[in-house]
Amino acid sequence: MGSSENSGTAKDSEDVDSLDNLLWWQKASIYQVLIQSFQDTNGDGKGDIRGIMERLDYFVALGVDVIWISPIYESPMCDMGYDISDYRKVNPIFGTMEDMELLVQETHNRGLKIILDIALNHTADTHEWFQTSRRARKNPRLGKRDWYFWSPGKLDEQGKQVPPNNWESTFSGSTWEFDEEAGEFYLQDLHIFGKNQPDLNWDCEEVRQELYSVLRFWLDKGIDGFRLDTMNLVSKTSAFPDAPISKCGSTWQPANYLFANGPHIHEYLQEMHEQVFAHYDVVTLAEMSCGVTPCQALQYTSKHKPRPEVNLIIQFQHVELDCQDGDKWMLREWELPELKRVIAEWQETLVNNGGWNTVWMENHDQPRGISRFTTNTPRFRALCAKLLALWQFTLQGTNLIFQGQELGMVNPDTFSEDMNRDIETIQYWNEACENASSGEADKLDLAKKAIIQKGRDNTRIPFPWTDDPHGGFCEPTAKPWIPAFNHESEWCGIHQQRCPESVWTFYQSMITLRKSNPTLYHGTFEALDLDNPLIWAYKRESKHACYLTVLNFSPGATSWSYVDHGVDLSLRKMLISNHQTCEATSTPDIILLRPFEGRLYQLSCNSQ
């Protein structure tokens, strides 16, 4: 667990009145389950609902409060279930509605809550709504004619029918796809799969009301809230103007500001809250794609708003530092002060203006945090995992943990075409191969490096429960849907739960410590020494408690002069460290930190 004077049990003397106004989701740690890769119980190589049910006591032991489950709805599974073909049916590969209802019951029996992931911006093109809408373009009597965005497009100089504007999709190419049956183009922001995920038209009230009905359907079954996929894309600039030219020589131009955070977004989210969520004690966790600033986040979440919208948002600014000009696959080296400034801006803006942060470092769309923010070097792996836990659990907001993060899982750090199951990665790799055959062979090596570092399959490999074949994710005779990584036994769940010095045990301690010290999730945030390229230090403070977090993000020993930044450590108590041995000797003015060492101090209120 690491050196600690009170091993995660110290409590601050928090003003009870200040905590009474906090809601359950503000105090919670939320654990994301990617169902396909969590636990298989029927031998088909895919995780399922009963697999989650079998592992409920694991969540209790870890200490998390909420389980967030990736989409379980009927789907052709082109996009991990985010392409939904029926919102009211459970995908048979995951189980039955009876399984889902039992999971809700058993989760609540253990004092846990459960939220579902749902995509309301788009559907699968196999959804009955889209099938009816495409036919209705020529036969309006069928209904649902305007449930999706349709356009006849325009004619180019050769008289060819082309998309109505030059919008570039989030991933590549045009946001518009031509449909032969309708004889028109339809809109899809994400455009990952060519023609598989058409955007719903939220400007049509019938669409909104039907989606609200879907949400009530699941809430009435006892679901405790939703993670709302790409939620800030549901309002578009309806006139569909061309985007200004910012990519010379390209037909398609970036247009995020025209289809993200659109003109009616706040109106629609307020309506959804009033008609649905205000009637349940639930949490809404909205993913904000294509960019959102801290000030925009306040417009969605601040408690000072007269009309509530959503409770929490997921933003991506801190995980886009390693992108070049917004291009995920163009790798960029970044420096620690850049990351510190991004986090500090989000912390201070939301804390000081009635907002509430989410704190996270990895999920089903992002690589492992250790590999991204620190190093994969084996000798530092456990230290880095614990360092990042100290960082995440001492920031203001609601914590999000992705499955395997608590084990210190890292990117596989190898390239294999068999590992490429994510369609975004497959498309990128295919394009790289085409370019390589045209005389750009060097780009193939760059593409491999980018996939190894940034590919979404990095966090989608099966969960390593044991050191059995496939990590105990499925039977040895079954074939996992994506190849399992050969983890050493010390990194498996069963071993780590038994080891008092494991990453898992450290996460358990940090979750407990955070609950015992409420200032860590609701107090103010003060960044210290922002320009320091190696040390990350900040204070968390409330009326009756003050804490100092000091993190060494380098593989070498270093020192930090705390006196230069107005910190008094004369009456400090070190609550926890990620090193197993005692605190290194410090001078009266300087803290000496070992490689990747992190410490959490409780300070005297009189010495702040």
CA distance 120 to 229: 7
Q: Are 236 and 259 in contact (CB under 8 A)?
A: yes
Give one DSSP letter per residue of 519-579, joined into a string: HHHHSEEEEE-TT-SSEEEEEEE-SS-EEEEEEE-SSS-EEEESGGGT---TT-EEEEESS
CA max distance for the chain: 81
Q: How far apart are CA 147 and CA 149, in angstroms?
A: 7
Q: Is 40 a known active-site residue? A: no
Within 8 A by CB and 6+ apart from 110, the residues are: 56, 57, 59, 60
What whole-number distance in Å separates Cα of residue 230 and Cα of residue 357? 17
d(CA 596, CA 385): 10
Residue 499 CA to its chain's centroid (Å): 28
Give me the helices (H) in 230-310, please: 256-259, 265-275, 294-301
Structure tokens at 533: 């390229």
Q: How far apart are CA 575 and CA 510, in angstroms?
A: 10
C-alpha 312, offset from chain centre? 12
Catalytic-labelled residue, pool 229, 365, 422, 583: 229
Q: What is the DSSP letter of 149?
A: -
Task: Read off φ and ψ for residue 514, nearest 5 degrees.
Answer: -65, -45
Q: Compute the distance between CA of residue 464 and CA of residue 472 in angstroms, rounded to an integer.
A: 6
Measured from the Cβ of residue 441, the count of other Cβ atoms closer than 10 Å reads 10
**Whole-angstrom Cα distance, residue 339 to residue 531?**
11
**Cβ atoms within 10 Å, residue 103:** 21
Total count of residues recorded for the chain:
608
Distance CA 81, CA 124 (A): 9
The alpha carbon torsion through 235, 236, 239, 240 (nearest 10 deg) reads -170
Distance CA 475, CA 495 (A): 19
**Residues 14, 48, 287, 526: which is the catalytic one?**
287
Q: At residue 432, what is the residue type?
A: A
Q: 152-190: buried (b, 16+ CB within 10 Å) or exposed (e) per residue?
A: ebeeeeeeeebbbbbbbbbbeebbbbebeebebbbbbbb
Secondary structure (3-state) at 30:
strand
Distance from the first to the final alpha carbon of the chain? 28
* Three-state secondary-structure class, residue 170: coil
Helices (H), 262-364: 265-275, 294-301, 336-352
Residue 229 annotated as catalytic? yes
Question: Could you tell me the CA-to-CA distances from 402 to 313, 364, 480 in Å, in that order?
Answer: 16, 8, 20
User: % helix / strand / coil in the chain, to the nearest 5?
Assistant: 35, 20, 45
| C-alpha 142 chain-centroid distance | 39
If residue 153 lies in a helix (H) or strand (E), which one and from where to where?
Answer: none
Give 442-475 as a DSSP string.
HHHHHHHHHHHHH-GGGGTSPP--SSSGGGGSS-
Query: Which amino acids are annotated catalytic?
Result: 229, 287
